[in-house]
Amino acid sequence: MAKEIEILLDAQEQGYLVVAKDSNVLWVRDELLHAQAGGLYREAGFLEPVTEATAVSGRFPGCLQQGSATEQDRAYLALGQTEHFVIFSSDGDR
């Protein structure tokens, strides 16, 4: 069974975006590797469908400037979620 951190690193390696649910922050690879080295997110992980209850709704969910987002910025869709993160894909990756 895959650990949550492995799912996140694999998703990012495939070009998907990883956004933390609690902070609405987009995590880059170095942050994920640092979390892995620190022993975080080592529990068994599952990639589940995104539900309406998920607060993270976009590639830049914490940004208050959504009105100035380009069409390319809005073309990201939630693929799934783990316990702590939501994984996004560009519309062209579906």
Strand locations in 15-91, DSSP E? 17-20, 26-27, 76-81, 85-90
Higher model confidence: residue 23 or residue 93? 23
DSSP letter (8 states) at residue 18: E
Residue carrying the six token digits 């380009």: 70
> How large is the average pLDDT for residues 77-83?
89
Predicted local distance difference test score (pLDDT) of residue 94: 46
Predicted local distance difference test score (pLDDT) of residue 64: 46
- Bridge partners (DSSP) listed for residue 7: none
* Angle (nearest 5°) at CA 14 between 57 and 68: 35
pLDDT digits (tens, 9 = 90+) for 21-63: 888 889 999 999 999 999 999 999 998 988 765 555 555 555 5
Higher model confidence: residue 52 or residue 2? 2
> How large is the average pLDDT for residues 88-92?
71
Distance between CA atoms of 8 and 70, rounded to whole angstroms?
A: 26
Contact indicator for 7, 82 with CB cutoff of 8 Å? yes
Mean pLDDT score of the chain, rounded to an integer? Answer: 80
- Model confidence band, residue 3 (pLDDT cutoffs 50, 70, 90): very high
Token couple for 34? 């640092």
